[in-house]
Structure 1
Amino acid sequence: MLSQIVCAFARMMAERRGTELGAWLTRAEDTGLKPLCSLARSLRQDFDAVTAGLTLEWSSGKVEGNVNRAKRIKRDIYGRAGFDLLRRQILFADWAP
């Protein structure tokens, strides 16, 4: 049963069928499994945003990728240098001579 619900969510994400989210949340809650019920409760808190994320083709993936890259660079040089080096690392991270 758990695998069916997880696979249904994966299909919903892959095929951008966010309109089915309400029915999926009800199925997840009906399982009685604590982790699944907790996930469903969390998704219901921002239902409109989750539905839009599962339906629309727009993505913030590139922005999130750049934020994560900047955080990694910052962690790598933590305590060794100031803002100037961090700025150079970010600006020239993809540059190769």
Structure 2
Amino acid sequence: MKTAPTPPPKPQDLSAWIIRHPDHLRAEEEQQLDDLLSRCPQSATLRSHVGAFARMICDRTGADLPAWIRGVRADELPHLHAFSDGLERDMGAVVAGLTLPWSSGPVEGHVNRIKMLKRQMYGRASLPLLRKRVLLA
């Protein structure tokens, strides 16, 4: 009796495998991904572009971004074209984010916390009480 073929992976599984570091894939995931990439050259190209962008982020090599964008534009991947268009619109900030060691993450966290406190108190209190909550929270 024949065994049923394995069902194809879900699209979210495929995207998770593509964006995950290759060293963090289980053997069966890697096998399924390699099988799918061998059938679809566009997916293989997508994986190489995503990997190159991830290396730029990890290695802080923002100077490579224009070459990466040129490589993306040379391929038939419209979603990556839209992503690269967005990066290009704010090229200076993106290159700075990919090269400089500083991050505005802690500041953004504090702003988010203050906005949450403000929403919790909407219409109930005055500015002095909000100030006290922000300082004590």
Structure 2 residue 46 is matched with structure 1 residue 8: no
Q: Secondary structure at the match of 2:102?
A: coil
Letter in 2 for 1:77: M
Mapped to 1, the partners of 2:86 and 2:119 lie a distance apart of 30
Letter in 2 for 1:52: A
TM (normalized to structure 2)? 0.60
Q: Which runs of 5+ in 1 are unaligned?
A: none
User: How does 1:69-80 map onto structure 2 within 5 Å?
Assistant: 69-80=113-124
Equivalent in 24, 41, 65 of residue 21 of structure 1: 65
Task: Spell out, residue by residue over 1:39-97, the C-alpha distance to the aligned partner (whole angstroms, 9 max, x if none).
Answer: 1111112212211110011121221111111111112222222222221121111xxxx
- In terms of Rg, which structure is larger? 2
Q: 2:82: which partner in 1?
A: 38
TM (normalized to structure 1)? 0.81
Task: Name segments (4+ residues, structure 1) moved above 6 Å.
Answer: none
Q: Percent of counterpart pairs with the same letter?
A: 48
Q: Which runs of 5+ in 2 are unaligned?
A: 1-44
Q: Secondary structure at the match of 2:108?
A: helix
How large is the Cα RMSD of the aligned pairs? 1.6
> What is the aligned residue count?
93
